[in-house]
């Protein structure tokens, strides 16, 4: 499935137009789901935090027992070359992917040296702020000893998919999951921030959810701008009492939430401020480049 109208894929040493076939039926990654990936964005001539996304895909591969076939800097260079080659006016989704071709003697665990890499670049609009409804999901995040949560792995997204499917079925855009201890964790596709009495709070990274690159960037930008940001354990009651909420993730960067369960939220001031700070940051990166 190509999500964009344009699709460029690097695989086995060269660029291919379109939705290139990268897996064989007997490939270990296809059979046992060792695929890891990352997602970065190119828009308005910038690719914010590309280095961090490439470092994370290499780390994800290692967590999965794979040996990344390139170092992060080489993957970043490849992605920059692909963006130039596509030379699109549209916002792009940049996705390096790493998986195993072969299993080891046990068949279950991957043979680290059989690792493959592809980079897929597609156009995908950046979602503009608008009505966005969030609900608590009945589905939780696995604990750190039951899933490879530190890896951004495709296999996690089966659970995330049912989170979003269930939420959409009840008329919401996304669902917010708890971890096994009952702490607020993340949505199916983003990290979450809540605002109460001018203080911004977000779940402290505890190994049960993705400690997002956008999350970390927004925490730093808000703090530099004089906002009090607390990373702490949050309970459902903290979310229920929020004046505001916003979500962060590479795909849309910052998304203010306008409704939580049946309640319209008071405003989007902090979400919009975080968004403006992110775009200022991205523009500075362009100037410095």
Contact footprint for ligand PMP (CB under 6 A) = 39, 160, 186, 189-191, 210, 212-215, 248-250
Q: At its nearest, how many Å lie between ligand PMP and the CB of residue 104? A: 28
Residue 19 or 154 having the CB closest to ligand PMP: 154
Please name the residue ranges forming H helices in the chain: 28-32, 50-63, 72-86, 157-169, 213-224, 236-240, 269-288
Burial (CB count <10 Å: 0-12, 13-18, 19+), residue 12: exposed
| Distance of alpha carbon 113 from alpha carbon 100, whole angstroms | 8
**How many angstroms from the chain centroid is the CA of residue 229?**
21
Q: At its nearest, how many Å lie between ligand PMP and the CB of residue 139? A: 12
Residue 104 or 154 having the CB closest to ligand PMP: 154
Residue 103 or 185 having the CB closest to ligand PMP: 185
For 152-181, b/e burial (b = at least 16 CB within 10 A) is bbeebbebbeebbebbeeeebbbbbbbbee
Q: At its nearest, how many Å lie between ligand PMP and the CB of residue 214? A: 3
The alpha carbon dihedral of 257, 260, 263, 265 has a sign of negative
Residue nearest to ligand PMP (CB): 212
Residue 15 or 157 having the CB closest to ligand PMP: 157
Residue 160 or 255 having the CB closest to ligand PMP: 160
Q: At its nearest, how many Å lie between ligand PMP and the CB of residue 239? A: 16
* Residue 117: both structure tokens together: 């890499």
| Distance of alpha carbon 252 from alpha carbon 275, whole angstroms | 10
Q: At its nearest, how many Å lie between ligand PMP and the CB of residue 186? A: 5
């Amino acid at each position: 499935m190509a999500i964009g109208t344009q699709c460029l894929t690097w695989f086995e040493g060269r660029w291919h137009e379109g939705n290139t076939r990268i897996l064989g039926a007997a490939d270990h990654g296809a059979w046992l789901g060792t695929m890891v990936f990352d997602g970065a964005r190119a828009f308005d001539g910038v690719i914010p935090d590309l280095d961090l996304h490439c470092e994370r895909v290499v780390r994800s591969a290692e967590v999965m027992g794979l040996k990344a076939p390139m170092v992060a800097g080489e993957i970043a260079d490849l992605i920059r070359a692909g963006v130039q080659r596509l030379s699109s006016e549209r916002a792009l989704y940049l996705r390096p992917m790493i998986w195993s071709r072969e299993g080891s003697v046990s068949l279950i665990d991957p043979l680290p040296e059989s690792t493959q890499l592809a980079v897929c670049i597609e156009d995908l609009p950046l979602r503009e702020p608008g009505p966005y409804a969030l609900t608590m999901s009945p589905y939780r995040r696995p604990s750190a000893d039951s899933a490879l949560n530190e890896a951004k792995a495709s296999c996690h997204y089966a659970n995330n998919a049912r989170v979003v499917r269930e939420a959409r079925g009840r008329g919401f855009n996304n669902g917010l999951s708890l971890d096994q201890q009952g702490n607020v964790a993340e949505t199916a596709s983003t990290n979450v921030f809540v605002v109460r009495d001018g203080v911004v709070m977000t779940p402290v990274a505890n190994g049960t959810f993705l400690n997002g690159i956008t999350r970390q960037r927004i925490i730093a930008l808000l703090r530099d701008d004089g906002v009090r940001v607390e990373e702490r354990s949050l309970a459902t009651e903290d979310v229920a009492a929020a004046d505001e909420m916003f979500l962060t993730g590479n795909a849309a960067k910052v998304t203010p939430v306008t409704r939580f369960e049946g309640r319209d939220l008071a405003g989007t001031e902090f979400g919009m401020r975080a968004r403006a700070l992110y775009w200022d940051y991205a523009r500075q990166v362009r100037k410095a480049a």
